[in-house]
A and B are shown apart, each in its own frame.
Chain A
Amino acid sequence: MNIQREDTAPYYIPIGDEAAVFETAYQKKLPLMLKGPTGCGKTRFIRYMAHRLRRPVVTVACHDDLTASDLVGRYLVKGGETVWIDGPLTHAVRIGAICYLDEIVEARQDTTVVIHPLTDDRRILPVEKTGETLTAPDEFMLVISFNPGYQSLLKDLKPSTKQRFLALEFDYPAADREAEIVAHESGVDIKTARSLVLLGSKIRNLKDKGLEETVSTRLLIYAGQLIQGGIREQRACEISMLQPITDEPDVKRGIKELITSVF
């Protein structure tokens, strides 16, 4: 189980009113959905908010084998005895943590149903096997992330699930902000960071034009880290911003030319 306590404030630059919205949702005990492309800072935002609110975060990376008992808990046999082991969701409810279900669409649809009673005003979690019904403390908050658009059609979130959440939309930050973030996170100088962001924006121009997914802020930071570690700029960009996103020869070559135009 992934429980994190943020003792020092994680680096995060608010872009809009997202922190205020999060805080209000927390106070009003409303569940929240973070929408946005991969690597734009959703997870970092959660950690940042967890620190601000002084709550631990229980993160569950959802995958397509994730079952309800993976979330809620199960009995295990230990030396002839059976022991009930809380799943991450149950645990988060018990300790009043922020429970973060990352990439919720990846989970089986019947799994997502178990979170429903936690999302309305009852805020309860029935644990069928133990016969318990847990009521979430005020400090508990449910947050899910969702990346619309890129997954397969089979994996759209059920409207009945979607409608239970407030939704905050995330996108890649504006150029100046993004450069600041890249510089801070990777340790490259601001000039290099700006060039990385410029290159990023050029590659993002290719979205829907040969590219299905483009470069995230995270990839820009990776590039910066490679450069900081002594890898040549062009090579670093190739490794972090070209190879991960496409296999098509022409698109690759085109992006390569963009890289050599910027660096």
Chain B
Amino acid sequence: MIQAFIDKTINRNTQEKQDVSLSVVRLQEIQKVLDIYLSGLMKQPLGVRENRIWQEGKGYVFGLIRGANKQVPSGPEDSYTDLKRIYLPEEIGTSPDTGGNFNVYKAIIAHKYGQIRFGSLEVLGLFEKIQNPNLVRDLFALIEDARMERRLVEELGGLKRLFAACKKSSLDVRNGVSSMSPKEARVEALVRISLDPKNDLATVPDEVKTWAQPYRAEMLHLIGNGSTASDSARLALRIMGVLNRQEGEYRGVDPVPYRGRINLNAVLRTLRGAIRVETVGRVGDGETENAEHKQQELTTERKVTPESAEFDEEEAKRGILLNRFEKISMIAKYFNISRSLDTDEDVEDLRKSLDELESTGMIRTARKAGSILLVENDFDFDTEAADVDTGDGPPGILYDEWDCRTGSFRKGWCTLRERTYDRLDAEWADHLMQRETHLFTRIRKEFMAIRPECQKLRKRIDGEEVDNDAFIEALADIHAGVAPSEKIYIKRSRRRKEIATAFLADLSASTDAYVKNMRIMDQQREALLLLGEAMEAIRDRYAIYGFSSKTRKQCDFYALKGFEENYGPEIKARIGGMKPLDYTRMGPAIRHLTGILKNVRARTKLMIILSDGKPNDFDVYEGKYGIEDIKKAVLEARASGIQSYCITVDTEAREYLPTIFERGNFLVLEDIQALPQKLVGMYRRLTGLTGPGRVRS
């Protein structure tokens, strides 16, 4: 049956081949748009933290919407969600125009959002025990989709048009019932009713029509009276009971493209993980009712499938721990359930350890939190070894580290060495600038335009011209017998001496990872190079530093460009030569940079940190400990009059960055591709460069 559908689609495609090839919409082109769309729909975006998919040789892929490498849906009818991700086909070309094809994508997203919003998938546990669930799954889908879509368009009225168009085109391509078994013909009739309650079932035999009539009424009733997904499931089970008495087999009916399919196993796997979450605790703000409702449904489900817990034990024994933890944290997050911090961190740590092992292919000793791994993988657990001072080169500077567990500093805990960066790559920068000529030219021009050449400093004690306002005020004062102000000049300043900015780049090994097919480090290099160009155009004072660590005894700090160094081939070669090194112990680097900035004469001092993720190190620097230390370091910097800002590509950062930086003082980039331009844009915003020729006082 599905084959027939595909054949038909292909036939259509060949007929309109000319048009179709032009109108095909590729996911790649519109992924960002769909991403924004889905994030707007959902308060808690689907699987921001769950969909790190590891791809051999490619690093991480943030497949928010794109399917995992193993299961890329072949067409819209094959799209599905496992409550963590939405899996979409690589391209859609069923409609003769691009708009139509885009709309299919949009409809799929809206439909999946509806399934999640209105709890469609959370009752699937009911079908777990059923031997051959295809029939009941299809029945449930056609009933539930009609119910859910009704609820959805009540909320989002604009989707009515979209769904109506999709339903119509879905009905248009459906096959006749002639080759169907009695069972299939009946399901087909119900699918048509689901798509159009008033459907006349034209090509359906009379007996099927008569059979379907009462169910039409029941479905209409169910759709209209505010029923829940459980009601749909019950009706589906009942109809299944009736159909099972019919002759013939059930091989499935034509899918409804925009509704995709229900992937029973994938959903059940997610739900099983979720059931294990302690559902105690506060329900967050926002869609409280909804969350409560969901919790309830989950609890119900626990009762329905008591064996699911056992299954999980088995799964755990087989060592698929990561998977489950992922689900727990995802579901817990999705339902706004607060967990105890420790558990959360353990899970995070475990994930992190695994993540990193994968991301670099290096073998490292497991840390405390990796003890679960320890059992499995028999790693050495030896932080003592980590304590050995392996540093070489210049004598180190000792820095304190904040220990949040004792609420005190560990004196001289970290050894930091300032090193010259000697890994040079002179060609990379030239190469990139050639390839991206357009971008570089544009940025340069843009910053030239806002170069504060015409910056006028009003009411100065000396300057090139008289400040008329100040002068008149002074005259009036003299007239009134008051001592006038001497500040009656306008001074033109070419260089905003009052601003000094230091950029601190993360050189940890994790920058070797790939996000959306782009290596974080490459984006960082590009961003810094672009920034260098921008800064040269605007002639602000800046410096670029990099940091990496290997235990507290070896924190390395690299000057890529000092404040007094001139931007040139040498600096470009250093930026080009930036390589992922070791770990991310950020505290000492910030403290050291604070020291450097303290000695810079400027009224405003900025520290902009480029990061790719949470702090960590070979010895303990994860989770709360590291975050608290960084927070402390940032506060120390602030006390010295240095403003800190962070830009990161780690989407999980939204959870911990607010505790370190004030709101608005960090930026989480969803799209790493945007890093170079965002960084430059952010600098502009931070330093108040808003437009060409702006007069500032």
Contact = CB atoms under 8 A, between A and B. Distances in A.
Nearest to B156: A261
A77 B664 contact: no
Contacts of B45: 205, 209
A43 interface: no
B157 A251 contact: no
Given A205-B40, A250-B33, A82 B157 contact: no
Interface string B269-310: 000000000000000000000000000000000000000000
Interface in A247-263: 250-251, 253-255, 257-263
Interface in A84-108: 84, 108
B159 A261 contact: yes
A260 B159 CA distance: 7
B524 to A, nearest CB: 20
Contacts of A51: none
Contacts of B696: 64
B410 interface: no
A67 B663 CA distance: 29
Interface in A176-226: 195, 198, 202-203, 205-206, 208-210
Contact of B479 (A82, A108, A208): A82
Contacts, number: 121
Nearest to A250: B32
B475 to A, nearest CB: 7
Nearest to B110: A261
B293 to A, nearest CB: 17
Contacts of B6: none
Contacts of A229: none
A2 interface: no
B155 interface: yes
Contact of A209 (B643, B662, B663, B670): B670
Contacts of B663: 148-149
Given A75-B482, A82-B479, A67 B459 contact: yes
B106 interface: yes
A153 interface: yes
A156 interface: yes
A77 B475 CA distance: 8
Contact of B157 (A74, A150, A258, A263): A263
Nearest to B48: A209
B432 interface: no
Interface string B666-680: 011010000000000
Interface residues of A, number: 43
A153 B665 contact: yes
Contacts of A152: 685-688
B21 interface: no
A257 to B, nearest CB: 5
A6 B110 CA distance: 47
Interface string B318-347: 000000000000000000000000000000
A155 interface: yes
B480 A258 contact: no
A205 B476 contact: no
B36 interface: yes
B40 A156 contact: no
B35 A257 contact: no
B42 interface: yes
A76 interface: yes
A154 interface: yes
B158 A260 contact: yes
Contacts of B499: 154
Contacts of B606: 153
B115 to A, nearest CB: 15
Interface in A111-137: 129-130
Contacts of B645: 153
Nearest to B605: A153
B441 interface: no
A155 B499 CA distance: 13
B34 interface: yes
A255 B37 CA distance: 6
A195 B156 CA distance: 8
B479 A75 contact: yes
A202 B473 contact: no
Given A82-B479, A202-B41, A258-B37, A153 B686 contact: yes
A87 to B, nearest CB: 12
B346 to A, nearest CB: 27
B36 A250 contact: yes
A156 B697 contact: no
Contacts of B106: 257, 261
20 contacts: A64-B696, A75-B480, A75-B482, A76-B476, A82-B476, A82-B480, A84-B480, A129-B480, A149-B663, A150-B664, A152-B686, A153-B604, A153-B643, A198-B155, A203-B40, A253-B33, A253-B36, A254-B32, A254-B39, A255-B40
